[in-house]
């Protein structure tokens, strides 16, 4: 990962990826718009991106971006342990901070916050904030903090890897044994770094506040909330919009948005059933909790088939079973971990209620002696039978309709109808991203407009060989998941992911008259 190595002269210093220089200050007028009704000129956004992409191609900036991605892919870390990738992101942002804040032509401010959310629940989050008020009068940092330029747009990338042993056999395979970037968060981080640089280079084309947030601990579902609990929106301006994208095993070059629910709600429980233990040779003197658990596992499969409405989408998975320590001993208890996915909060309530009823009924059928806990309140106590203990939960990710419509129009112009679909079905995967659309950690539901899109990573040869069937293609969390990486292709995922982030941000931020590329010029 490259950074500013020699800042000896601000006019000829090294920038985050390549070399840049600051042209003479350009005075621009700010258009009169509001964050609630942003000025949207999709063709202009496309022109800005086209000019920037051509510049990056001619100056070989993408070589640095691709090298950064490979470096991050080789050095993954699990949730809460993202010191390497967070350090790279922080160094990158500090390089920009040093360059921008020393520039006479920049009337705003660039701040960097490290270790946001670095608690036992989270990890080393990093946030860069660029306040760009426009005009020709330099404002103090205090003035900008008191009255941040509007609108405030936050883009997010997650940073953590997974405890998976990589088997892609690429020349930049993970060097950390047993840990892999199997979900593409290295690509998310790299594209947000590249997007940040593009926003800085094109600072003359917009005003407002741009926030680049690098989040830890997404895979265990704790990172976003940990950043909120650490006072995220006291450290940085409260955003008017929060947005992000996720790389998927769909066809490389394609971008998609879901109407309504984009990612499902996820809730996990540990359910313990208590029996009466004893010798395996005398089952008649015991009440076997393992047999009861086996009936429960079989019975709950009918919840989705017979309780969930055919118009809804729900999934129940028993992913772990624990019980007993020896083959000839009937244990006192047995437990399982259950995960529920649902595409609405109302559906989740139905599934949870039925799950509790079915488990309690099987306990009663197996254990005629003793009290059975039937209600949620009873099942939450430590001596309850059955006992329900909540492990984790991720909120429903529902795209804000008005924001989806605006960005759909922008993406349609940017990528074209053959590469963009603004109305794809949501998926049963889950995300902690919606927490960032809450104003405080105490809020129950998001209140800030949010948007989450997908972009493909599978090369055309593999896609055609699988006849477009994603179940036949290595997917996220697989030991063989590896996004296409072809520097020479215009529609490569790294480039498309970066364009989507920049296109969405520029669409919402206020536009400025004058040279769209007035700001930083690549040299």
Mean pLDDT score, 175-188 = 98
pLDDT at 381 over 60: yes
| Per-residue model confidence as pLDDT tens digits over 194-215 | 999 999 999 999 999 999 999 9
Backbone angles phi, psi at 507, to 5 degrees: -60, -35
pLDDT of amino acid 192: 98
Mean pLDDT of the chain: 89
Q: Are 397 and 434 within 8 A, CB to CB?
A: yes
Mean pLDDT score, 395-413 = 96
pLDDT of amino acid 53: 95
pLDDT of amino acid 26: 36
Residues annotated as part of the active site: 158, 219
Query: pLDDT class for 512, splitting at 50, 70, 90?
Result: low
CA 271, CA 286: separation in Å to the nearest integer?
20
What are the chain's domains?
22-263+396-522 (3.40.630.10), 267-394 (3.30.70.360)
CA 226, CA 441: separation in Å to the nearest integer?
8
| DSSP three-state, residue 59 | coil
pLDDT at 27 over 90: no
pLDDT at 365 over 50: yes
pLDDT at 167 over 70: yes
Peptide bond into 151 cis (omega under 30): yes
pLDDT of amino acid 20: 41
pLDDT of amino acid 121: 84
Mean pLDDT score, 266-293 = 95
pLDDT of amino acid 2: 35
237 by Cβ neighbours in 10 Å (0-12 / 13-18 / 19+) ranks as buried
Mean pLDDT score, 86-95 = 97
Residue count (the chain): 523
pLDDT of amino acid 102: 84
415: tokens are: 């990528």
Query: pLDDT class for 511, splitting at 50, 70, 90?
Result: low
Q: How large a percentage of the chain has pLDDT more than 70?
A: 90
pLDDT of amino acid 367: 84
pLDDT of amino acid 514: 43
pLDDT of amino acid 31: 41
Which of 18-27, 36-45, 247-256 is predicted most confidently? 247-256
CA 497, CA 279: separation in Å to the nearest integer?
60
Mean pLDDT score, 449-453 = 98
pLDDT of amino acid 67: 97
User: Is 0.85 surpassed by the pTM of this model?
Assistant: yes
Query: pLDDT class for 518, splitting at 50, 70, 90?
Result: very low
CA 359, CA 364: separation in Å to the nearest integer?
9
Specify which residues 318 forms β-bridges with. Answer: 338
pLDDT of amino acid 17: 62
């Amino acid at each position: 990962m490259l950074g500013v190595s020699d800042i000896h002269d601000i006019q000829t210093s090294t920038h985050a990826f390549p070399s840049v220089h600051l042209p003479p200050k350009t005075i621009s007028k700010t258009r009169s718009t509001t964050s609630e009704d942003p000025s949207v000129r999709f063709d202009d956004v496309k022109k800005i991106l086209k000019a920037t992409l051509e510049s990056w191609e001619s100056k070989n900036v993408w070589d640095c971006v691709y090298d950064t991605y490979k470096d991050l892919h080789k050095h993954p870390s699990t949730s809460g342990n993202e010191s390497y990738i967070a350090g790279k992101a922080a160094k990158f942002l500090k390089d920009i901070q040093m360059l921008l804040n020393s520039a006479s032509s920049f009337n705003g401010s660039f701040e960097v916050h490290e270790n946001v959310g670095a608690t036992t629940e989270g990890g080393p989050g990093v946030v860069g904030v660029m306040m760009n008020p426009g005009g020709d009068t330099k404002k103090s940092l205090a003035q900008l903090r008191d009255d941040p330029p509007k609108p405030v747009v936050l883009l997010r990338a997650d940073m953590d890897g997974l405890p998976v042993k990589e088997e892609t056999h690429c020349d930049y395979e993970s060097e950390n044994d047993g840990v892999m970037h199997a979900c593409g968060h290295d690509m998310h981080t790299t594209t947000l770094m590249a997007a940040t640089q593009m926003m800085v280079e094109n600072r003359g084309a917009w005003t407002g506040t741009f926030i680049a947030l690098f989040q830890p601990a997404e895979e265990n579902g704790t990172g976003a909330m940990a950043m909120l609990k650490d006072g995220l929106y006291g450290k940085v301006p409260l955003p008017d919009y929060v947005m992000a994208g996720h790389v998927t095993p769909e066809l490389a070059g394609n971008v998609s948005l879901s109407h309504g629910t984009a990612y499902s709600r996820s809730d996990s429980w540990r359910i313990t059933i208590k029996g009466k233990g004893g010798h395996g040779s005398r089952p008649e003197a015991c009440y076997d909790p393992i047999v009861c658990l086996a009936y429960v596992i079989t019975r709950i499969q009918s919840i989705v088939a017979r309780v969930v409405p055919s118009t809804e989408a729900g999934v129940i998975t028993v992913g772990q079973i624990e019980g007993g320590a020896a083959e000839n001993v009937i244990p006192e208890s047995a437990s399982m971990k259950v995960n529920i996915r649902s595409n609405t909060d109302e559906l989740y309530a139905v599934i949870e209620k039925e799950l509790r009823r079915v488990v309690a009924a099987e306990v009663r059928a197996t254990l005629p002696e003793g009290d059975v806990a039937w209600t949620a309140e009873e099942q939450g106590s430590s001596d309850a039978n059955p006992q329900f203990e909540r492990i984790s939960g991720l909120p429903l990710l529902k795209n804000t309709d008005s924001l989806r419509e605006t960005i759909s129009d922008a993406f349609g112009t940017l990528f074209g109808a053959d590469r963009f679909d603004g109305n794809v079905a949501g998926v049963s995967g889950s995300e902690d991203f919606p927490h960032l659309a809450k104003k405080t950690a105490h809020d129950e539901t998001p209140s800030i407009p949010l948007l989450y899109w997908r972009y493909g990573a599978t090369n055309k040869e593999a896609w055609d060989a699988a006849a477009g069937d994603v179940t036949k293609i290595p997917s996220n969390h697989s030991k063989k998941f590896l996004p296409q990486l072809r520097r020479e292709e215009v529609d490569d995922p790294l480039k498309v992911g970066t364009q989507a982030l920049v296109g969405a941000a520029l669409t919402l931020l206020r536009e400025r008259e004058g040279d769209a590329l007035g700001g930083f010029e690549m040299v």
